[in-house]
Amino acid sequence: MKWTKIIPLTALIVLAFSTSAFGQCKAFAKKQCLPELGNYTHDGNYHAAVLVEGEEAELYKTFYSDMEYRVAIVGEDKLPAIEFSVMDANRNVLYSNKEHNYASTWDFRLEASQQLKLVIKVTKFNAADEMPANGCVSIMFGFKM
């Protein structure tokens, strides 16, 4: 049965705190995702969840003007490509990594502070007879002034 699940990531983070999986995901985030921020300063927040092939998660975040940001989204090697898009309040797509070879980072800055929505989707291997892969997906934000 084909299914997709949209999980508000903020709620998922709250739930994940109560499971041991979060500890493993946080370790993955520190080791694999944090280095992707490069010379951007990590904002101190760890967003990580265990997702399954085909699953989606969304995250709302406020970004401020006059600051440069980098978003890094990394999934475990056993997962297929992680697709993410960034939308404004009216769901207009401002960026999609699908058009950039599923790049794991995106650098940007805003002329006016606003809330943006990130939608993260684990693509599929399209192996119909196999159990869907699952693994940690980490989202981290860095900034420069």
Partner 1 sequence: MVLLGGWIEGFYISTQLVNMDNFANDKLVGRIVDQKFSIDILLNLLADSRGNQAVDELIDQVNELKTVFDKVTVETSAPRPVYDEATQSTVIKSESKVNITKEVFNELTTTVSLIRNSFINP
Nearer to partner 1, 67 or 127 (CB): 67
Part in contact with partner 1 (CB under 8 A); list of ranges 3-11, 77-85, 122-130, 133-141: 3-11
The H-or-E segment that residue 14 falls in is helix 9-16
DSSP conformational letter for 130: S
Give Rg (Cα) of the chain.
Answer: 15
Residue 102 structure tokens: 């599923």
Cβ atoms 59, 117 nearer than 8 A = yes
Q: Does 14 bind partner 1 (CB under 8 A)?
A: yes
Binding mask 31-60 for partner 1 (x = CB under 8 A): -----------------------------x
Which residues bind to partner 1, rule: CB under 8 A? 8, 10-11, 14, 60, 62, 64-65, 68, 88, 90, 92, 94-95, 106-115
